[in-house]
Amino acid sequence: MAVQRPRIGMYEVGRTLGEGRFAKVKLGKHKVTGASVAIKIIEKDSLQKVDKWVKREIACMKLIKHPHVVRVLEVLASKKNVYIILEYVEGGELYDKIVENGKLDENEARRYFQQLIHGVDYCHSRGVYHRDLKPENILLDAKDNIKISDFGLSALSQQRRDDGLFHTTCGTPSYVAPEVMDEKGYEGAPADLWSCGVILYVLLAGSLPFNGSSPSNLYQKMQKSVMDFPPDFPVGPRELIKRLLDPNPKCENEWFQVGCKATTKEDDLDVYFRKDYFMTECSRPVLMNAFDIISMLSRGLDLSGLFLEKDAWKKETKFTSVHPAEEILSKIEDFAVGLGYKVKILNFKMRIQSSKPGRKGYLSMATEVMEVAPSLFMVDMHKTSGDTLEFRDFHQQLSRGLKDIVWKSEEELTGRS
């Protein structure tokens, strides 16, 4: 007689993959598709202690849909637990590979590092800062590609204080930027890039760049960037590491560029619509819950339906419409194809990509239609790769081309102020 496995929604629950102070992670399997997932289980009794942490982790990961970042598939709940359903990454931690092999081959280390930078840069473009990057939080998939995980200490742009800086001290001492520890405030992107520099050093040396007899001694060495390279350390990446472990890091470096390819290539549209990500095809758009709407309002979204103005066009645009979701997608598709773009659609999500490379490779945009209320839909479009000015031009043309489906308030229709 077959053993009946416990189930969470449509997922069978298997062995434990890992366990922390407030959560455990189990292997899961979707009953219909057979796709493997990781199920993060958090007891609601514990949730009261870490409520902000869990909400922030979910909010951050929902914003990120990138080949080198672990994805949140959905969030479920029971009377006792909250379940975060995650993409399953079967290759283990990058940390384990370093422990097993010591320092890595230069080309292998460069490939991992390029993928890490692509993933981190995308997170930053969506206003998400990881703040705990280290080999233990980088997973390897079946094809030996990295997936950034564990956004429990991450932060969103709107969490910055009035001075434009973050002030929460967090992260792992050996990997955290010195400015995070000095309590004067810090920028999220340079802090993450510092951690990337430490990771690159560890990949190529098999050891940490900074060692101290005490936390204060370690901090002093990091603050002054006092480090030594082993005699057999490759020459090419040394200058890049020095730049990263500096207050003004830059990744434009000849060693980094070798074999470096943009994450989104001309024929890569299908990778964003892999069936195991979306499980089964949807008959209607995702219904936005109160948390989603409040989250968008907190980021300055005006539900009046007009395209976002000021600086929002740089990386994203949102608008509302009372037209059916299928019609909205069809209008955007016709518009984009008319301008020579390639389009893929699945589950009310759309991928738009230029057919020719521009100044910074192929311009690529992700679009999703979500249901706010019966007969009211939200369209969220953001740039995932390519040149910002090219996205601005596309946005301006789109705002003119879709005026007939963008919802307007009664005041706007009648011309009243």
Known catalytic residue at 232: no
Q: Give me the catalytic one of 45, 51, 96, 132.
A: 132
Contact 299, 367 (CB under 8 A): no
CA-based nearest residue to 338, from 384, 394, 407, 265: 394
Rg (CA), the chain: 23
**Distance between CA 85 and CA 371 in Å, rounded?**
22
Question: Can you count the helices (H) and strands (E) in the chain?
Answer: 13, 16
| Backbone φ and ψ of 364, nearest 5° | -130, 140
DSSP string over 202-214: HHHHSS-S---SS
Contact 364, 383 (CB under 8 A): yes
Instruction: Give whole-number Cα distances, 59 to 64, 128, 291, in Å.
Output: 9, 9, 9
User: Which tokens sit at 150?
Assistant: 């564990």
Residues 270-291 as b/e (b if ≥16 CB within 10 A, e otherwise) read eebeeeebbbeeeeebbebeee
Is there a binding annotation on residue 310?
Answer: no
Neighbours of 99 (CB within 10 A): 11
Binding-site entries for ATP:
40
The residues that are catalytic are: 132
